[in-house]
Amino acid sequence: MRISEINNNLVLTNIKDFNLDNIFDCGQCFRWNKQNDGAYIGVANSHALKISQKNDTVTLYDTSIEDFNNIWFNYFDFKTNYQEIKEILSNDSVLKSATEFGDGIRILNQDLWECVVSFIISASNNIPRIKKIINTLCELCGDEINYMGETYYSFPTPEKIHSLGISGIEPIKAGFRDKYIISAAEFFMNDFNDAYFELLDYKSAKKELMRINGIGNKVADCILLFALSKRNSFPVDVWIKRVVEHFYFEEEQTIEIIQKFSQEKFGKLGGYAQQYLFYYAREQKIGL
């Protein structure tokens, strides 16, 4: 990868294993929106960004090399060798097809607190509504971000959300999830933070997350995968359960069996396998 600064933009050339549509449309994030010109605009870590791609060239607009090094390099997981991961997973014929289809998927390294709230909101919900609820929450109590002549909003802190209380966040129309968001804020105002979870292994971290009301098995695994770098995490919902059954079993299985199977088959690469399978099966309408 080569980086050039051109007219206040950063131009990354010779980018491998990177496709914006694959990355932003595989169910892992909710604050990026595709523009008419094919670029995406989103907010992460209190910074807004417009990003576009043409073949192996990626442009980050109106940003600095400092922000790239401090924020976007890690966020887009540029440190990870995805070619090597895909080669290992391709020993399985199903994953070979899935990795070829979703060739440019990368797992984003997201903010822990934002990820927790986002996936609490995602429970029994659809993506357009999830995005609307999160956007309304940010507009309600996030900080303004002025970027390229437009106003965006950071994700609000646990303290800010908690200060509003359940009645105060009713305008976001999250329904029964309101009380879970406030409960999560209480945990994060005390001991819960990145440093705390870095000391825990996968099972211990999952157990701690599930102390929060509204975080069940699947939501915990999403948070572990997308915010805590537990790449062995294999989130299983009804959709993924059907997909794994379709490809690897001849009959219906329990979620527990699906998770045990994924751990034994994919090991430390379980999270990557899940993302490739999810995107491939959804786009090809496999397992409906």
Q: What domains can you pick out in the chain, each with its CATH number?
A: 2-79 (3.30.310.260), 112-226 (1.10.340.30), 238-284 (1.10.1670.10)
pLDDT tops 80 at residue 287? no
pLDDT tops 90 at residue 124? no
Give the position of tokens 């804020």: 185
Compute the mean pLDDT over every residue in the chain, rounded to the nearest whole number.
95
Nearest-CA neighbor of 228 among 256, 258, 204? 204
Which residue blocks in 58-105 are alpha helix, DSSP H? 65-67, 73-75, 82-89, 93-101
- CA distances 14 to 3, 40, 53, Å, are 9, 20, 11
Q: How many residues does the chain have?
A: 288
pLDDT digits (tens, 9 = 90+) for 64-123: 999 999 999 999 999 999 999 999 999 999 999 999 999 999 999 999 999 999 999 998
pLDDT digits (tens, 9 = 90+) for 210-264: 999 999 999 999 999 999 999 999 999 988 999 999 999 988 999 999 999 999 9
* Rounded Cα distance, 1 and 89, in Å: 24
Average pLDDT over residues 207-211: 96
pLDDT at 43: 98
pLDDT at 80: 97
pLDDT digits (tens, 9 = 90+) for 163-197: 999 999 999 999 999 999 999 999 999 888 888 89
Q: What residue type is assigned to position 235 of the chain? A: P
pLDDT tops 80 at residue 288? no
pTM: 0.95
Average pLDDT over residues 200-218: 95
* Contacts of 243 by beta carbon, 8 Å cutoff, 6+ apart: 277, 278, 281, 286, 287
pLDDT tops 80 at residue 15? yes
* Rounded Cα distance, 33 and 37, in Å: 11
pLDDT digits (tens, 9 = 90+) for 127-151: 999 999 999 999 999 999 999 999 9
CB atoms within 10 A of CB 238: 10
pLDDT tops 90 at residue 49? yes
- CA distances 186 to 26, 113, 152, 192, Å, are 30, 12, 26, 9
With a pLDDT cut of 90, the percent of the chain lying above it is 91
Give the full edge-to-edge strand order of the sheet including 2-6: 2-6, 9-13, 57-61, 47-54, 40-44, 32-34
